Amino acid sequence: MLELGLKGKAAIVTGGSEGLGRATADRLAREGVRVAICARRKDVLEQTAEAIRHTTGGEVFAQPADVTRPDDVEAFVRAVVGRFGGVDILVNNAGTSAAAGFEKVDDAAWQTDIDLKLMAAVRFCRLVIPIMKQRGGGRIVNVTTIGGKAPRPQALPTSVTRAAGINLTKSLALEYAADRILVNTVCLGMAKSVQLARRAKDGDLEAHWRELGKRVPVGRLGEPEEFADLVAFLVSERAGYITGSAVNFDGGASAVV
């Protein structure tokens, strides 16, 4: 078994109540990480936290937060530091799909997407990096998409904000490498998520997954647990020489590496 060296670390996972974020929080808790999760819906968030505590025996802190609101972000980070004494790992996972043609995206839609997918990551990083520097290092994973590297038609504003997230990742990686703060991004293709599940026709989820999987070179969608495994590795001691990387999690679907 690969020892990741994560036991006792403190992590923040945004958008941690469902899907990929929940799988990541669960995976980290299994490694002995003290995990803090946030999301907007209090009931779903608390149910997730209790479920992870039950299945992993880990310490999970949950607090509702809208990551587009600076006050919520600050209050959440302050609460996590008060609970865990610091932050070693940050996974900026919160986000949603937004794709339309250029002429259909108004200023409000642009601003909403920027706040959710770029500025939320900026604000979390700005708050936790000084803490990580004091603790002698840390790990940050920004979740973006393969469309941030190679956009498709009518994929705005997401393709632009995700491209900005990839650039933010590289910029922070270069600036804070000497502080032993390693920053990487996982670029998503199609994976089993709550957002994709909601599009299933007639509630036949397995048929929905199979149909979507036909668009992926490996013939299936990515599993949340596979995504979580990748993130766990990137934030581990085993990945100590990896920073500024944009790793595709897409089954070969991206047009670029």
Question: What is the Cα–Cα distance from 202 to 211, expressed in whole angstroms?
Answer: 14
Question: What is the Cα–Cα distance from 56 to 232, expressed in whole angstroms?
Answer: 15
The CA-based diameter of the chain, rounded to the nearest angstrom, is: 53
Question: What is the Cα–Cα distance from 233 to 247, expressed in whole angstroms?
Answer: 12
Beta carbons within 8 Å of 237's beta carbon, 6+ residues apart: 4, 5, 6
Residue 254 confidence (pLDDT): 97
Question: What is the Cα–Cα distance from 138 to 51, expressed in whole angstroms?
Answer: 27
Q: Where are the domains of the chain?
A: 10-249
Contact 123, 68 (CB under 8 A): no
| Assigned token pair, 25 | 């929080």
| CATH class of the 10-249 domain in this structure | alpha beta
Residue 125 confidence (pLDDT): 98
Going residue by residue through the chain, which has 257 residues, state the pLDDT in tens, using 9 for 90 and above. Answer: 789 999 999 999 999 999 999 999 999 999 999 999 999 999 999 999 999 999 999 999 999 999 999 999 999 999 999 999 999 999 999 999 899 999 999 999 999 999 999 999 999 999 999 999 999 999 999 999 999 999 999 999 999 999 999 999 999 999 999 999 999 999 999 999 988 998 888 779 999 999 999 999 999 999 999 999 999 999 999 999 999 999 999 999 999 99
| Assigned token pair, 178 | 């000497």
* Phi, psi for residue 96 in degrees, rounded to 5: -150, 160
Question: What is the Cα–Cα distance from 254 to 95, expressed in whole angstroms?
Answer: 20
Residue 61 confidence (pLDDT): 98
pTM equals: 0.97
Residue 211 confidence (pLDDT): 95
Strands across the sheet containing 246-249:
60-62, 34-38, 10-14, 89-92, 138-145, 181-188, 246-249
Question: What is the Cα–Cα distance from 25 to 52, expressed in whole angstroms?
Answer: 8
